[in-house]
Amino acid sequence: MAPADNHAHELAELARRTGITVAVAESLTAGRLAATLGAAPESARWFRGGVVAYSSEVKRKVLGVPDVPVVSRTAAEAMAEGVRSLLESGVAVAVTGVGGPDAQDGEPAGSVWFAVATETDVRAWHRQYDGDPEQVLKQTIECAVEWLLATAETLGTGHR
């Protein structure tokens, strides 16, 4: 089983014990992050869903991303906060980046911004991945699920 699948299974078990719910906003991964979570055990109980916002217009209208480059810390934070609020989840993760092979928004191929939002906090970070677009997507999904799990572990019980 791939690392992302292992983390998704751990997240499912944690959600079963604590009642936490999860949402995703994704651009770069085009639904593959949601598919990874949706394939985990009992996902219908804890995975609220996701928004695949590939276009800048959708990011702005649906998720509240301001008029900034969509491959940026600000965009990732807005996406995470927007989907958490929209889908009323305890925790949400967002990914936006450049799979390649070409650059976008002044960012090189492999540049990915992540953000995790909870009811009280939002954290963002950047990774620069090497490899072809498929390798960048795989690494992005693994990182996003790992951070979702780590954040959910710190929240404990009592969250939606």
Average pLDDT, the chain: 94
Q: Per the domain annotation, does 95 fall within a domain?
A: yes
Residue 57, pLDDT score: 95
Flag whether pLDDT at 156 surpasses 90: no
Confidence of residue 155 (pLDDT cuts 50, 70, 90): confident
CA dihedral sign, ordered 145, 146, 150, 153: positive
What Rg value do the Cα atoms of the chain yield, rounded? Answer: 14
79: tokens are 């996406």
pLDDT tens-digit profile of 89-123? Answer: 999 999 999 998 899 888 999 999 999 999 999 99
Q: Per the domain annotation, does 159 fall within a domain?
A: no
CATH number at residue 125: 3.90.950.20
Q: Among 5, 30, 52, which residue's Cα sits nearest to residue 149?
A: 5
Q: Per the domain annotation, does 158 fall within a domain?
A: no
Q: State how many domains the chain has.
A: 1
Q: How far is Cα of residue 145 from the mean position of the Cα atoms in its chain? A: 7
Neighbours of 80 (CB within 10 A): 28
Q: Per the domain annotation, does 160 fall within a domain?
A: no
pLDDT mean over 142-150: 96
pLDDT tens-digit profile of 81-90? Answer: 999 999 999 9
Flag whether pLDDT at 8 surpasses 90: yes
Cβ-contact 59, 70 below 8 angstroms: yes
Residue 5, pLDDT score: 93
- List the domain range (segments joined by +) for residue 65: 3-153
b/e code 86-123 from CB counts within 10 Å (16+ = b) = bbebbbbbbbbbbbbeeebeebebbbbbbbbbbeeebe
Flag whether pLDDT at 56 surpasses 60: yes
Residue 90, pLDDT score: 95
Distances (CA, A) of 108 to 43, 113, 127: 34, 12, 11
Secondary structure of residue 103 in the 3-state scheme: coil
Confidence of residue 3 (pLDDT cuts 50, 70, 90): confident
Instruction: Please report where in the chains the tokens 């702005």 appear, as a residue.
Output: 60
Residue 66, pLDDT score: 98
